[in-house]
Amino acid sequence: MVRMPLGGTLSIVAVDRRSGEMGAAVLSQSFSVGSKTVWSEPGVGVVVAQGTIEPTYGPLGLVLLKGGKTPPQALKSLLATDPRPGVRQVMIIDARGRAAAHTGKGCLPEAGYLAGRGFSVQANFVNAKRVWRSMAAAFRGARGTLSERMVSALEAGEQASRGAKRGGAARSAAVVVVAALPTNTPWEGRLLDLRVESSDAPLRELKALLKVEEAYGHAASAEELFSKGDVERAAREFSKAISLAPQSPELRLWLALGMLQQGESKAGERALRSALGRGQDAKAILRELAARGMIGTPRPPDAPEP
């Protein structure tokens, strides 16, 4: 048994048929909630277990789904073999968007869930039933990626639980997204796994991480464009990436390498200096990169621009 503190937990599981994604998001007053409550497998499904957690629900639930059981059948099997089903709160969703949920009578009130088409939300130890209703409404009305819509549901739930909220402020949050279709290798289908383990503002930090994740998506597109020799479009993609994550010198370094590899010496050196900051010998690093075959031979310091 995994012991949880007397603090509320909100969560959502959902499938997005258009993007071919499924996932979960969770917010809690518990430390490192994402490591304790969420299990997923590409092409199979997602399980969230909270309340008084029984950690076997996650892996066994996925095995049952993989074996052909529907979420309601899988959940029924798990509860039937559990000596303490009354203290569990569980949701299961499969790759087809079929969901099942259970809130035991022994869960700390208010506790409950609401299932809709392709999603389910749940909450425990909150001050009102409107919490999970607000989460469902927010998810239905939100736009953006699946991860953004799930985080919007958490925000709505937290807002609805303010006032006479029990247990104190949220401390951790997580969002996980996997492919709804099976993949040849497990790691290919793991699309997103972000966690805020302990913070005074876990949702704000989780949203910031989503921006950084988006930035690296633009950077990956830019790398592909560079490989095709499309320097102009690659530079635009890197510009988007850097605007989303201006604190990341790594993105500027990737831009610099891409430019230098394409023979854009002036822009590449400028980006390299921006990535390195003061006190770094950009010329020495250029020589080292050239020696390793990562870029062409750098221009001499006094050579005219091409």
Q: What is the pLDDT of residues 71-129, one digit of tens each?
A: 999 999 999 999 999 999 999 999 999 999 999 999 999 999 999 999 999 999 998 89
Helices (H) and strands (E) in the chain, counts: 10, 10
What pLDDT does 130 receive?
93
In this structure, are residues 27 and 202 in contact, taking their beta carbons and an 8 Å threshold?
yes
126: tokens are: 């909150």
Same domain, residue pair 60 and 175: yes
192 and 260, same domain (yes or no):
no
Q: Which residue has the higher pLDDT, 77 or 182?
A: 77
Classify residue 184 by burial, with Cβ atoms within 10 Å: 0-12, 13-18, 19+: exposed
User: CA 95, CA 211: separation in Å to the nearest integer?
Assistant: 26
pLDDT, tens only, 5-19 = 446 899 999 999 999
Q: Please check whether residues 185 and 274 belong to one and the same domain.
A: no
Same-domain check for residues 106 and 237:
no
Q: By three-state DSSP, how is residue 43 classified?
A: coil
Q: What is the pLDDT of residue 272?
A: 85
Contacts by 188-194, CB closer than 8 A, 24 or more apart:
188/42, 189/41, 189/42, 189/43, 190/40, 190/42, 191/21, 191/23, 192/23, 192/147, 194/147
pLDDT score of 6: 44
Question: Does 121 share its domain with 226?
Answer: no
Q: Whole-model pTM?
A: 0.89
Q: What percent of the chain has pLDDT over 70?
A: 91
Q: Does one domain contain both 147 and 278?
A: no
Domain that holds residue 222: 214-291
Same domain for 255 and 231: yes
For residue 4, name the pLDDT band (cuts at 50, 70, 90).
very low
Q: How far apart are CA 198 and CA 202, in angstroms?
A: 7
Kindly state whether residues 186 and 46 are assigned to the same domain.
yes
**pLDDT confidence of residue 237:** 98
**Inside any domain, residue 305:** no
| Residue 142 C-beta-side C-alpha neighbours within 13 Å | 21
297 is a domain residue:
no
Whether residue 33 is contained in a domain is answered as: yes
Same domain assignment for residues 91 and 225: no
**Which residue has better confidence, 7 or 188?**
188
**Is pLDDT at 277 greater than 80 in this prediction?**
no
Flag the least confident range among 39-53, 147-161, 200-214, 273-287.
Answer: 273-287
Phi, psi of 93 (to 5 degrees): -135, 145
Residue 164: which pLDDT band, with cuts at 50, 70 and 90? very low
Q: Would 63 be classed as within a structural domain?
A: yes
User: pLDDT of 217-266, one tens digit each?
Assistant: 999 999 999 999 999 999 999 999 999 999 888 899 899 989 988 989 88
Number of domains in the chain: 2
- Of 151, 170, 200, the last residue of a domain is 200
pLDDT band at 1 (very low <50, low <70, confident <90, very high): very low
Whole-angstrom distance, CA of residue 272 vs CA of residue 258: 10
Last residue of a domain, one of 176, 200, 224: 200
Q: Are residues 59 and 154 in the same domain?
A: yes
131 domain residue, yes or no: yes
Above 80 in pLDDT, residue 156?
A: yes
What is the CATH classification number for the domain harbouring 286?
1.25.40.10
Q: Regarding predicted confidence, which is higher, 271 or 221?
A: 221
**Of 171, 200, 229, which residue sits at a domain end?**
200
Residue 15 lies in a domain: yes
pLDDT reported for residue 295:
75
Is 90 within a domain? yes
CATH number of domain containing 162: 3.60.20.10
Residue 143 included in any domain: yes
Contact 57, 100 (CB under 8 A): no
Compute the distance between CA of residue 246 and CA of residue 205 in angstroms, rounded to an integer: 15
Between 278 and 178, the more confident residue is 178
Give the sign of the dihedral formed by CA 154, CA 160, CA 162, CA 167.
negative
As given in the structure block, the two tokens for residue 25 are: 């998001």
- Assess whether pLDDT exceeds 90 at residue 47: yes
Sheet holding 190-196, edge to edge: 112-116, 119-124, 9-16, 21-28, 172-179, 190-196
Same structural domain, 52 and 88: yes
3-state class (DSSP) for residue 2:
strand
Same domain, 183 and 261: no
